[in-house]
Amino acid sequence: MLNMPTRIVTQYSKQFKIEAVKKVLLRRYGTSITSVAHSLDIKVSTLHGWIKAMKRKDLIEDAPTSGGSIEKSPYQWSAKKRFDSILEASKILQKEDLAEYCRKKGIFPHHLEKWKAEFIESFGKGRSDDLIETKKLKNELKNLSFELQRKEKALAETAALLVLKKKATNL
């Protein structure tokens, strides 16, 4: 048999992988992924694989929920998650209960107020923008139909003149 070198495969824990990806995501400007990989003593391709797995959510599927999990900041939440939070918080009447709810979610009450204002503003703005757009389109349609009628009249007049000219030459 050939004397081939044996390859040592290192198994890393999910927590280590998550922390490595966190280091990449939270690295300072100018720090490359390669330097992060070297500092952790892993291959760059391995780290890229973990980043892809994180994007596919394969890596964080079974991750623990406390301490080591990667949680999006409130500014990165989807519109649906923000809206759901606003609805849940609107059911809470006491300020103390609202503060407790916000602590559990990792947000502040001013986030909820800001998101609520943004939703209301975007809803109102969308409707007024639609009305303005509709008025513009109606005016454009009116102008185009007027121009079409004018051109049809000019074409009919030109056709009548051609017919008269033809009759005059035949006489």
The answer to whether the Cα torsion of 94, 100, 106, 108 is positive or negative is: positive
Contact 6, 15 (CB under 8 A): no
Count Cβ atoms within 10 A of the Cβ of residue 50 and give its class: 0-12 exposed, 13-18 middle, 19 or more buried.
Answer: buried
Mean pLDDT of 153-165: 95
The pLDDT assigned to 5 comes to: 64
Which long-range contacts does 133-140 make (Cβ < 8 Å, 24+ apart)? none
In this structure, what token pair is assigned to residue 6? 């044996």
pTM of the model: 0.35
In this structure, what token pair is assigned to residue 74? 């409130």
For the segment 26-40, what is each residue's pLDDT rounded down to a tens digit?
Answer: 777 677 888 888 888
* CATH 1.10.10 for the 9-71 domain, yes or no: yes
Hunting for tokens 């291959």 — which residue is that? 43
For the segment 4-31, what is each residue's pLDDT rounded down to a tens digit?
Answer: 666 666 777 888 888 888 888 777 767 7
The pLDDT assigned to 63 comes to: 46
Query: Where are the extended beta strands (E) located within the chain?
Result: none
In this model, does residue 145 exceed pLDDT 90?
Answer: yes
Residue 37: closest CA among 45, 29, 97: 45
The pLDDT assigned to 110 comes to: 86
Mean pLDDT of 52-57: 79
For the segment 55-100, what is each residue's pLDDT rounded down to a tens digit?
Answer: 777 655 544 444 444 556 777 778 888 889 899 988 888 888 888 8
CA–CA gap between residue 22 and residue 36 (Å, rounded): 10
Collapsing DSSP to helix, strand or coil, 7 comes out as: coil
161 vs 108, more confident: 161
